[in-house]
Every structure is written in C-alpha cells, then in structure tokens.
Amino acid sequence: MYYSCDQIVALASIIGVVVVVKLALYFGRTKRGVASPGMSAVTFEIADTEKSRAFATRNPHFPAALERLVTLANKCFGRAPSPKNQFEDVCFWLGHTCRQDFIEIVFLGVHGYGSGATKLLRSLYERAVTLYYLVKNPSKIERFVRFAAIQEHRALEAALRAGILESQIDEQVGPPNTVAEIRDRFLQHKAEFKAIECQECGLKPPASWDLDFSSMVRHVGEPFNRLFLLANNNPNFLIHATLASAQPHDDEREQADAQLAIMIATDLLLAVITSQDTLFGLGLDADIERCGQDLIKAQAEDLKRAD
C-alpha cells in the first residue's frame, strides 16, 4: 500500500514555514514548500520504502490528523514575528526550533528509524520544558541569555582537555567566539552561576541557568512530568555510551519506538503551540483543543485497528 496524495501532503507539509506544497504523485520526487516573502523554501522527501508504506498501513487515520496539526502549527509559526523585546524573541525562536525537532522526529519515525526518532525526543523535550518555564517566569530570560557564556566556556574547556589547541579554535571559529572572547564573557558572568553543594550528599552538580531540570519539570507540570521517563530518561540511555545502547538491532522494537516517538512528539508540539498562544495571544485555544482531540481519536482508532 502506498501513501495517497492526501497523505503525502499531510506528511510533507510539516516542513514549510507557511506551507503551500507542490507534490509529485509518487515517492522519490522532491517536495518543496513555497515560503512566504523573506523566508527560504525548504525541501522534504519521503522515500518509497517498505518501512514508510508499512507506517501508512498501520496508521491510516494519522495523516489527516497530522495535516490539521500542521495547519495549526502554521498559524502559530508561519508568520513574521515582531518581538517587542528579547523575551519574546527568544521564546518565539525556541518554539520554532521545537517545531523543527518535531519535523525530524516524524520524518525518522515514518521511515522506521525508531531509535533515531527517540534520541531527538530529548532535545524537543528539553526545549519545550524550558520554553514553558520561561513563559511562566518571564523575569528569568536574562539569566537564560547570560548563561550562554557559561555554556560556551564549558565547551571551550572540553575542547582544550581533548587536546585541541587554542590557535586551532581561533582559526576555525573566529570572532566573536575566539578563546579570549569566550573567556572574557565567562569572567563577566561566572559569579552569577556558582555550583551549589547538595546538603544531602555534599556534591556540587554543574551550575544551571536556573532550577535543575528535574525541578523545572515539576514546576511546569503537565504534560511534561507525565512524559519525563519516555522523553527524557529513555532517550538519554540511547544518546550516550551506555550498556542500554549496546544492543543488537531489532526491527520490531524500532517500529514500536517510532510509533511512540511520533505520539510523544505530537503531544509536545501541542504544548509548545499552547505556550506560544499564551505568550502572544494568538487566539488558538479552540484550534488547539480540536486538534488535540482529533489526534487522540486518530491514535485510538489506529491502535484499535492494530489489535
């Protein structure tokens, strides 16, 4: 069974900033989103593979629901932002990056790469939690921005410990991120981000820009605390060199992981759009609710069909 043209549109259209898709009627051709003035066009390809056809067979109701989610995402992100301040600027583009994470997860999942889709869940999850936390605590934006100096310095020190020469970094990276410039910014802000010793164990975890991540998840609540194990812990075991990642390939596990990753990513994208709606007053409440119900219904019908 091949994707129908409508199903291809639903899957391919997640790429465009504002999506008007021109498609070939079969796989293996390039699908281009026609961008708004000032926005570059993007390319998305869906291969005609056994895995992608199997996904369409297992999930006949999902593409239509996904198309409605894409329409909603375009209302949210398919616009030229006019931020009033740094807070709005950072939050819009952090949300936009979440949308890109979602696109990549769906692409990998449709083509059967469950492990890859699961790994990307971690970045989507962390960004979505951070965005939600910032929207609830806008006064924290300056700390978030200034903490970039600490992150840059950590990366610099890691490179130096690995034997990379300062001259190599200056040559390959250059201004405004030479070794001297990174160190200057670090010295300017390091006093604000000191590691605090744990009163129970005596250890000093690496400094964070605000709360530690687990506490941040607890602070923002649903759906993030419900998804913590699946979108944070499980991907971490796959991302890093762990015993759990030293496993033979399993097609059935890949398929199940792909299915789950897409479902979780969908939940997270809806949360991201909700945060944007809260911040910018986009009037998307009814669309978000309707889209969420559509996706829940589609998933339930497809799971019932699989049984």
Tell me what pLDDT residue 10 has.
Answer: 39
What does the pLDDT read at residue 231?
A: 97
Q: Determine contact, residues 68/294, Cβ cutoff 8 Å.
A: yes
User: What is the per-residue pLDDT for 28?
Assistant: 31
Q: What is the pLDDT of residue 35?
A: 39
Q: Say what the pLDDT of residue 9 is.
A: 35
CB-count exposure of residue 296 (10 Å: 0-12, 13-18, 19+): middle
Q: What is the pLDDT of residue 19?
A: 30
What is the rounded end-to-end Cα distance, in angstroms, of the chain? 19
Confidence at residue 234, expressed as pLDDT on a 0 to 100 scale: 94
- How does 107-120 read in b/e, with b if 16+ C-beta sit within 10 Å? bbbbbbbbbbbbbb
Q: What is the number of other CB atoms lying within 10 angstroms of the CB of residue 90?
A: 17
Q: What is the pLDDT of residue 188?
A: 95
Cβ atoms of 169 and 179 within 8 Å: the answer is: yes
User: What pLDDT score was predicted for residue 43?
Assistant: 43
Q: What is the structure's pLDDT at 254? A: 93
What pLDDT does residue 34 have?
36
Cβ-based neighbours of 67, under 8 Å, separated by 6 or more: 6, 9, 10, 13
How much is the pLDDT for 287? 93
Domain positions in the chain are: 5-147+208-306, 148-207
Q: How many CA atoms lie within 13 A of 62 on its CB side?
A: 22
pLDDT of residue 297: 81
Instruction: Flag residues of the chain having pLDDT under 70.
Output: 1-46, 197-198, 202-205, 302-307
